[in-house]
Amino acid sequence: EPASDHLLNLLQDRSPRVVYFATEALGKIAEARAFEPLTQLIIDTGESDPHLRHGLIYALAQLNMEDSLVALSDHPSTQLRIAAVVALRRLRSAGVQEFLSDSDSLVLMEAARAINDDLSIPEALPALAESLITQSLGNEVYLRRAINANLRIGDMASARRLAQYAADTHALVTMRKDALWALGYWEFPPVLDRVDGRFRELPGRALDEGRQAFAEVASQLFTSDQLDLRVAAVQASGRLKFNAVEAQLVEFLRQQNQSIAVRRAALNSLAQMQSNTIEDLLFTALNDSNVELRTDAQSLLGTLNLAPEKVVELLAQVLQNSTTAEKQQALNSLSKIDHPDAYALLNQWLHDLTNGKAPAPIQLDLIMALEKSPSKRLREQLVVFERNRSELPVLDWYQETLFGGDQNKGRRIFLQDNSAQCIRCHKLGEYGGEVGPDLTLIAKELDREGLLLAMVDPSARLAPGYGTVSLTLADGTKTVGVLEGETDEAMVVRTADGVKTKFLQVDIQDKSYVPSSMPSMEGILNKQEIRDLVAFLVTLE
């Protein structure tokens, strides 16, 4: 403390470094007389020296002069007001709420961050929540935190503010959607903060409050000319289980000219409301011309309390009339149902499989469904089926992987799978290794069966330039080299000296191929992954 006078004088030093350490020292000894010089230095420094500005703000917080900092809320310098907000944030002072009426967006953003983020300032949350309606700034940084403050407080007034903001046609559509999202999760808010991801276990709140607030604006939102807003409103009604709009949601679902995004949201919301007509609605959706709506309907089958026989009936319908992806999903759903009707349907498909009548793209999914089925009898029948083909050539054993894969998943396997490590040895465009053949245009050279064989039995066909062959000619001469090409008439072999020699097949008495250095994918990837990889490789044209 006896150094205070000297330290105050050093604030006028020509060296910014000296000023910085003098500032730091004055903060540490909490010298109140430094408040005015420090604030003036902040004004003078502005944006020119972020390091010094940081030291000055830190020192202001160390002085612990909360009231003096709050009094700066009406100071003409924007830089000083921002500094005051940051210093108050360090003090976790509720006085920062005095800056929520500031006209400058930077000041307002920093005040919102101070109140909501990190450990936050709970005492100031009500003021931030109320500012959602009173503050006209259209800034997402601030608005997200004001919306979040209302969700965190969770009283009736907060619910109404969220609904009122969502209905405000002058507000940003993205933020109106965010307000509806918060209102939709009114009863059980997520434990991760919507803004900064911090764990916040908020207490439960009355669902009726959220419904009541939503009821005041629902009709306005449902007729909004903003599609995203209509979708958000329909989604909120489902999460709030707001059954008063059930008839309107059913109408949305049945309207073929309605946006598919609204129709999908309506179906999911009706399921959340546990509509009495949900079975009929699912039947309608499963027969719709839009594949996204059909997929949503099928996904809901396992989440609703429907009779198993009804679910099986709907899945049987999917297996007859839908796309490959939907059939694959239906078989997966069917494998989880412990009911005689499900067993009977799977048995029919097993009969088709054993007689070669099951569609190729769903054969693997059928086998996996039978493997997972609760029916012991079906699993035993599958074992017999697999045993009967165990002695067949490897391609027959893997026939079900030729079609039905997902090329996007296959691409991820090729580029990222740590077990297969395809990209480590094979080049794709400009990327990858050169240990094995370049696969950039491999689909021009090999068909599906050729690609599959290369994965499960790499030595069956050696790629030109990557396999070693040993030849014994009719005259007894022996040659070992890299196979550069082979036809029914001749072979071209490159020997160790780099010379390429053509040998006629009629002159070759014996030939043996050195096994490929590439490992078989049989023990590395499962059949589903191999199928996806085939689906990707056939696109490389």
The secondary structure of 342-399 as a DSSP string is HHHHHHHHHHHHHTT-S-GGGHHHHHHHHHH-S-HHHHHHHHHHHHHTTTS-HHHHTG
Question: Of the candidates 72, 105, 221, 97, which has an alpha carbon nearest to the alpha carbon of residue 149?
Answer: 97
* Amino acid found at 88: L
DSSP 284: H
SS3 482: strand
Distance CA 216, CA 310 (A): 38
First to last CA, the chain: 79
- Among residues 2, 27, 29, which one has the least CA distance to residue 39? 27
3-class SS at 137? coil
Joined tokens for residue 372: 């997972």
Q: Give the whole-angstrom CA distance, residue 126 versus residue 206.
A: 18
241 vs 59: CA distance, rounded Å: 52
pLDDT at 373: 95
Q: Which residues contact 182 (CB under 8 A, 6 or more apart)?
A: 147, 148, 150, 151, 162, 189, 194
Among all chains, which residue has been given the structure tokens 């035993």?
380
pLDDT of res. 325: 92
Please state, as a whole number, how many other Cβ atoms lie within 10 Å of the Cβ of residue 219.
12
Please answer whether residues 252 and 262 qualify as being in contact, where contact means their C-beta atoms are separated by less than 8 angstroms: yes
What pLDDT is stored for residue 116 in this prediction?
97
Enumerate the β-bridge partners of residue 469: 481, 513
**Structure token digits, residue 285:** 């959706």
Q: What six digits make up the tokens of 92?
A: 């976790």
What contacts 148, CB < 8 A, 6 or more positions away? 116, 182, 193, 194, 195
Residue pair 107/137 in contact (Cβ under 8 Å)? The answer is no
pTM, rounded to two decimals: 0.77
Q: Which of 522, 518, 464 is nearest to 493 (CA)?
A: 464
Give me the pLDDT at residue 271, please: 95
DSSP code, position 11: T
Q: Other CB atoms closer than 10 Å to residue 147's CB: what's the count?
A: 29
CA distances from 71 to 84, 90, 396 (A): 9, 17, 82
Please provide residue 489's backbone torsions phi and psi, each rounded to the nearest 5 degrees: -95, -35
d(CA 122, CA 138): 24
Find the length of the chain: 541
**Is 385 exposed, middle or buried, given 0-12, 13-18 or 19+ CB atoms closer than 10 A?**
middle
Do the Cβ atoms of 153 and 129 come closer than 8 Å? yes
Low-confidence ranges of the chain (pLDDT < 50): none
For residue 508, report the phi and psi dihedrals to the nearest 5 degrees: -95, 120
The reported pLDDT for the residue numbered 293 is 94
Euclidean distance between CA atoms 81 and 59, whole angstroms: 15
pLDDT the model gives residue 466: 66
- How far is the CA of 242 from the CAs of 156, 207, 209, in angstroms? 16, 10, 11
Rounded CA-CA distance 85/96 in Å is 6
pLDDT, residue 76, reads: 96
Output the DSSP codes for 323-341. Answer: -HHHHHHHHHHHTT--SHH
Q: Are 273 and 284 in contact (CB under 8 A)?
A: no
